Amino acid sequence: MEKPADSFYRQLPKVELHAHLNGSISVATMENLISRKPHLNVQHSMTAIHKGQHRTLGQAFQAFKVIHQLVDTEEDILMVAKAVIGEFAADGVKYLELRSTPREETKTGLTKRMYVETVIEGIRQCKQEGLDIEVRFLVAVDRRNGPQVAMETVKLAEDLMVSSDGVVVGLDLSGDPKVGHGKDFVPALQKAKNCGLKLALHLSEIPSQKEESELLLTLPPDRIGHGTFLHPEVGGSQSLVDKVREKNIPLELCLTSNVKGLSVPSYDKHHFLYWYQLGHPCVLCTDDKGVFSTELSQEYQLAASTFGLSQEAVWTLSQQAISCSFAPGPLKEALSQRWVSLRPQVFR
């Protein structure tokens, strides 16, 4: 990982809304996984992009293939979920929405339902152990698996929303943006929305998705992941911007991920500035803190130093993220109170 963030950013209470479970595995946990499966011959360079390195989005997606081989049993998933939650808590994250794609592994007998139930069990254990973090879960639809699997995933998410006692709150559409077209997923996304699942959709992560974004914005989603190419200055359109603004759909913005994954040329060119200057709700997130070697506190520090944000502005940014979350009303209220009570020690 790069240099840890300064203490203000570490102590700042934070909300993480865009974190893919298998992309969030730390070096220490990865060591453990690699040592459990030496026959796979995995090197760290295959699962993380270190300081100063860049890779195309396509190359980053190769890393997930390797990681999935390392995480293929209930035991692995429980260990990874608990470790990732613990690391976010240690970084000052008070509310986390984790997302992950249900996966079946015939070799180990893992089913998609077991996969998600195991993550939920990890979330429960962290709570029982008294970790100072509230965690909710979004079931992810990987666009590479097509519309039929998407529909099955929505059914699973619906079931689990009911049985998980409020842990499962939404659905994510993610996966390689070059694969498939969003129109194929509209029926599944609509069904999810109708049954009360919140929608967090990756939109315009690459330049060629204008038409897809127009369509998916009609649903509309409750939050947008990345939205890198929505605005006209980068080949999007005013109509897309207007729709996002009219519906006040928050953006989940991941600076390091976009720069290391080469979808944004440099930090100062990140679309955070465009949306932030419009006063639009923006939430800083890590995306894949393991693959991109970052932490949420670093993302806040990076945004502050790149865009000249005062500590007060950084505080407001982290506090406003609460209202963009899918937490139920009383939890949002409790989190807001928490921010008030933590303020004196952060600004000490």
Ligand X SMILES: CNc1ncnc2c1ncn2[C@@H]1O[C@H](COP(=O)(O)O)[C@@H](O)[C@H]1O
Binding site for ligand X (CB under 6 A): 20-23, 60, 64, 100-101, 140, 142, 174-175, 202, 205, 257, 261, 287-288
Least distance to ligand X, CB of residue 179, Å? 10
Is 112 in a helix, a strand, or coil? helix
Least distance to ligand X, CB of residue 206, Å? 9
Q: Per this entry, what is the length of the chain?
A: 348
The letter for the amino acid at 262 is: L
- Residue closer to ligand X by CB (options 65, 155) is 65
Is 344 in a helix, a strand, or coil? helix
Q: Which residues are catalytic?
A: 205
- Residue closer to ligand X by CB (options 21, 133) is 21
- Residue closer to ligand X by CB (options 64, 326) is 64
Least distance to ligand X, CB of residue 64, Å? 4
Question: Are residues 15 and 321 in contact, defined by beta-carbon separation less than 8 angstroms?
Answer: yes
Q: What share of the chain is helix, strand, coil (3-state, %, to 5)?
A: 55, 15, 35
- Residue closer to ligand X by CB (options 105, 288) is 288
Question: Are residues 212 and 181 in contact, defined by beta-carbon separation less than 8 angstroms?
Answer: yes
Detail the DSSP E strand segments found in the chain: 14-20, 93-100, 134-142, 168-174, 198-203, 223-226, 251-253, 282-284
Q: Which of 227, 214, 223 is nearest to 182 (CA)?
A: 214
Least distance to ligand X, CB of residue 346, Å? 30
- Residue closer to ligand X by CB (options 5, 264) is 264
Q: Which two tokens stand for residue 317?
A: 């940014």
Is 223 in a helix, a strand, or coil? strand
Least distance to ligand X, CB of residue 58, Å? 10
The letter for the amino acid at 88 is: F
Least distance to ligand X, CB of residue 148, Å? 17
Q: ∠ CA 239-240-246 to the nearest 5 degrees?
A: 85
Question: Are residues 321 and 28 in contact, defined by beta-carbon separation less than 8 angstroms?
Answer: no
Q: In angstroms, rounded to a whole number, what is the distance separating the alpha carbons of residues 320 and 312? A: 12
- Residue closer to ligand X by CB (options 253, 335) is 253
The letter for the amino acid at 194 is: N
